[in-house]
Amino acid sequence: MEFTRRETLAVGAAAVVATALPLPALASTDDAIAAFTGGADVADGGVDLDAPEIAENGNTVPIEVGAEGAVSIMVLAAGNPTPGVATFNFGPMAGATRAKTRIRLAGTQDVVAVAKMADGSFAKTSKTVKVTIGGCGG
Amino acid sequence: MAKGVRPRVKVPKSASAGDVITIKCLISHKMESGQRKDKDGNKIPRSIINNFTCTFNGETVIDVKMEPAISTNPYFEFDAKVPESGEFKFVWNDDDGSVYEETKAIEAA
C-alpha cells in the first residue's frame, strides 16, 4: 500500500491530534474515591487543599492537605495516567492532621483530596492546577 | 536496593513536654513512575518507595501510602506530639523490598 504525499500528511496530522488529546480518566478517579469511601456519601468542602494555581514544572508540585478531625486523607490527580497520589493515615501521635508533600502532575488538571473523618463521614475538596510542563514522561 | 538512597530528617533536638513539633523528611530516590520510556521506546519499569511511616516510641504519627505520582526525592512535612522524651523512627519501604530506616532522639523538658 502506497501513500500519496497528501495521504501521508493526513495520517501524520491525525497522529498528532491523537497524541495531543488530553488523557483524563475521570471514571477511574470516581472508582478510586469509591474504593476509599466504600460507596459512602462524600460531602463537598471541609478539607484544606493548598496547591499552586500555576505550576511551572509538573515534576514537582508542592501541595498541602489537612482536615480537622480526619483519620486519613487520600490525594488524587484526576488527569494523571493513574489517579492515585498518596494516602496519609494519621496515628495517635500526629500533632495535627495535615501534611505537605511534592507530587507529579501530567498536565493541567484537578487535584482532589478526600478525607475520612473520625466519625466515619467523608469530605472532598478539589483544586485546578495549571501545569506548563508535564511531569509523567512519555 | 536502588542506588544513592539517603534519608534526611529534620527533628528539633529538644521540646517542652506536650509540644507539637514539625518534622521534615526527604529521601533521595529516583521514584521511577513506570510511565517513562527509554530511547528505544521500552517502558522503564516502576521502581518507587511505596510506603512511609513515622512512629514515636512505637506509636504511629503518620503512615503514608505512596503512588508513582509522588515526586522524585519524596518529601514530607507533618506535625507530631511530643509528650515525653523518646525516639522518632522513620521507615521507607521500597518496591524492591529494601527498607530504609532513620531514627532521631528528642529530649522533652
**Nearest C-alpha neighbor of A69 from the set A32, A125, A121:** A121
pLDDT value for B102 = 94
| CA–CA min distance A132, chain B (Å) | 16
Report pLDDT digits (tens) over B59-76: 999 999 999 999 999 999
Cβ contact A84–B67 (<8 Å): yes
**CB nearest to B64's CB, from A61, A88, A138:** A88
Q: Which domains does chain A have, with CATH numbers?
A: 26-131 (2.60.40.2470)
**Nearest C-alpha neighbor of B80 from the set B46, B104, B45:** B104
A88 and chain B in contact, CB less than 8 A: yes
Cβ contact B80–A94 (<8 Å): yes
**CB nearest to A86's CB, from B22, B35, B66:** B66
B35 and chain A in contact, CB less than 8 A: yes
Rounded to 10 degrees, what is the CA torsion of A32, A36, A42, A43? -110
pLDDT value for A14 = 62
Contacts of B103 (CB under 8 A, 6+ apart): B87, B88, B89, B90
Counting one residue from chain A and one from chain B, the pairs whose CB atoms sit within 8 A come to 111
Dist CA A137 CA A82 (whole Å): 13
Contacts of A85 (CB under 8 A, 6+ apart): A75, A76, A77, A103, A111, B67, B69, B70
pLDDT value for A9 = 66
**Chain B residues near residue A88 by CB distance under 8 angstroms:** 62-64, 78
**Nearest C-alpha neighbor of A80 from the set B72, B6, B45, B68:** B68
Cβ contact B62–A87 (<8 Å): no
Report pLDDT digits (tens) over A95-136: 999 999 999 999 999 999 999 999 999 999 999 999 987 766
**Nearest C-alpha neighbor of A54 from the set A105, A135, A127, A130:** A130
Whether A67 contacts A114, CB under 8 Å: no
Contacts of B45 (CB under 8 A, 6+ apart): B32, B34
**Chain A residues near residue B66 by CB distance under 8 angstroms:** 86
Report pLDDT digits (tens) over A54-107: 998 889 999 999 999 899 999 999 999 889 999 999 999 999 999 999 999 999
Scan residues 1-40 of A and list those with Cβ closer than 8 Å to B: none
Torsion angles phi and psi, residue A17, rounded to 5: -60, -45
Please give the sequence-ordered ranges of beta strands (E in DSSP) within chain B, or none if there are none: 7-10, 14-15, 19-27, 49-56, 59-66, 75-82, 86-94, 99-108
The CA distances from residue A11 to A6, A23, B23, in Å, are 9, 21, 54
- For residue A138, pLDDT over 60 is answered with no
| DSSP secondary structure letter of residue B46 | P
Contacts of A52 (CB under 8 A, 6+ apart): A61, A62, A129
| DSSP secondary structure letter of residue A60 | -
**Chain B residues near residue A96 by CB distance under 8 angstroms:** 20, 78-79
Helices (H), chain B: none
